[in-house]
Amino acid sequence: MIMKKLILFVTVFSMVGFTGCTQSTSQKNQGSATKSDVQVGGSCEGCEAIYESPVPLENLSWIDTLPGYNDKGPKLEISGTVYQPDGKTPAKDVVIYIYHTDQSGRYSTKGDEKGWGKRHGYIRGWMKTNNEGKYKFYTLRPAPYPNFPDVAHIHPVVKEPGKNEYYIDAYLFDDDPLLTDKMRNRLEKRGGDGILKLKEKNGIWYAERNIYLGKNIPDYPAASKKNIQSGLAIGSNCPAFDPLHISGIDVGRKACPMCKYGYGQGVMIWFNHTNLEGMNDFVKRLEMEMRERGEKKFRVFLVYMNPKHEVVDATEAKIVQQKIKEWCYRQNLQKVAMVLIPSPVDSETSGLYEINPEAMNTVFLYKKREIAAKWVNMEYNEKSLAAILNEL
């Protein structure tokens, strides 16, 4: 990852969000997080730099020009809209903090920096979205780190009302020769896609990036979608489908979960997000429960629905499968079956189970091939695990 953990980039790029961060106890200026703020996003070293704005956060403009813009280098104008988790409603009063390297690829300082400015350098800026959720900033295109195999990037941190600050995927550049297909497929897409497609006009390069609050952000509350409907009704028969198994007893083969194991009881988690890391502890506990209870009494199927239809050809399919396979290996999944289906709207898989593609997940508990319980947008925590186990 980037920031403090950047030196591990080559070996841990499968977890890239082009970010970094663990919360600090450094003093924050006006507008800082409060105890009532919902804690989301996980650890974030350096994210508290968002409170180091020379202008009080409540007085920030929706437009900023970063230091050095008038120096020699490729000039950028980057703009976009920040949306609420529904993906449609503009989000006002969202603070955005950005920083990046200079034209030599370094986080240069002027010598009078304080706080995180000593690490992030002097090229940084702050904005607050207007009533239409708009933001815009002007800067020079950053250079990649010298003598290090990494792409050029701009670090962003956001602070929305009622929640702590958290990082989203960095701004990257679609024309960057260092940005390989493998890297693109391993991005977390926190806050949405951060890859910029540049267009030049009159000597300035323009790009747009919209930000979606909560998208692929760990621990982000699903309250805005708490009433969403998804999945077959309780009491329905579980249809047959034939997915590829990436882990578990049938690894490497296509096998119908209900045809082979529907006689018993188990859980199917149909999930429509790419942030596998947010499921780590939850899935490990399910693996442990399956081992302790035995395969004849309890089975677990994780149904990866290929969010946003990212697989479009055989080559990309292999990349995605390898990414998921590596994740399963890290979680030591020997009993839990991770299975793949084409998309969240595929008529022969998710369509049979009436999955709503707007839901983060749809969880079924089945007994003798009949749906006995159901949850939508279940959080991956101990409370949810207890709810499942209590129904067994």
What pLDDT shows up at residue 174? 95
Token duo for residue 155? 């670090």
334 Cβ neighbours under 8 A, 6+ residues apart: 247, 248, 287, 291
Alpha helices for the chain (secondary structure H): 9-12, 117-120, 181-185, 257-261, 280-293, 314-330, 382-391
Burial 343-363 (b: 16+ CB within 10 A, else e): bbebeebbeebebbeebbbbb
Do 320 and 311 touch, CB atoms closer than 8 A? yes
In SS3 terms, 178-201 reads as CCCHHHHHCCCCCCCCCEECCEEE
Q: pLDDT confidence of 295, banded at 50, 70, 90?
A: confident
Do 267 and 365 touch, CB atoms closer than 8 A? yes
Asked if the model's pLDDT at residue 230 lies above 50, the reply is yes
Rounded mean pLDDT of the chain?
Answer: 87
Asked if the model's pLDDT at residue 201 lies above 90, the reply is yes
Asked if the model's pLDDT at residue 123 lies above 90, the reply is yes
In angstroms, how far is CA 103 from the centroid of its own chain?
Answer: 29
Helix/strand/coil for 379: coil
What gap in Å lies between CA 392 and CA 267, rounded to an integer? 10
Asked if the model's pLDDT at residue 366 lies above 90, the reply is yes
What gap in Å lies between CA 175 and CA 196, rounded to an integer? 9
What pLDDT shows up at residue 329? 95
289 Cβ neighbours under 8 A, 6+ residues apart: 298, 300, 389
* Lowest-confidence segment of 193-202, 242-251, 256-265, 270-279 by average pLDDT: 270-279
Token duo for residue 277? 């890391």
* Lowest-confidence segment of 110-124, 133-147, 223-237, 363-377 by average pLDDT: 223-237
* Lowest-confidence segment of 136-140, 275-279, 353-357, 371-375 by average pLDDT: 275-279
- The H-or-E segment that residue 145 falls in is none
Asked if the model's pLDDT at residue 8 lies above 90, the reply is no
What gap in Å lies between CA 78 and CA 154, rounded to an integer? 11
DSSP code of 127? E
What pLDDT shows up at residue 233? 93
Half-sphere exposure of 142 (CA within 13 A, CB side): 30
Give residue for tokens 């961060």: 21
Asked if the model's pLDDT at residue 26 lies above 80, the reply is no
Over residues 247-269, the pLDDT tens digits come to 999 999 999 999 999 889 999 99
Q: Model's pTM, two decimal places?
A: 0.56
Backbone angles phi, psi at 229, to 5 degrees: -105, 135
Q: pLDDT confidence of 35, banded at 50, 70, 90?
A: low
Domains delineated in the chain: 3-212 (2.60.130.10), 223-391 (3.40.30.10)
Percentage of the chain with pLDDT > 90?
67
What's the rounded mean pLDDT across residues 78-96? 92
* Lowest-confidence segment of 10-19, 60-69, 93-102, 106-115 by average pLDDT: 10-19
Give 284 or 296, the one with higher predicted confidence. Answer: 284
Percentage of the chain with pLDDT > 70?
87
Q: pLDDT confidence of 315, banded at 50, 70, 90?
A: confident
Q: Please work out, in degrees rounded to the nearest 5, the angle formed at the alpha carbon of residue 83 by the alpha carbons of 31 and 121.
A: 50
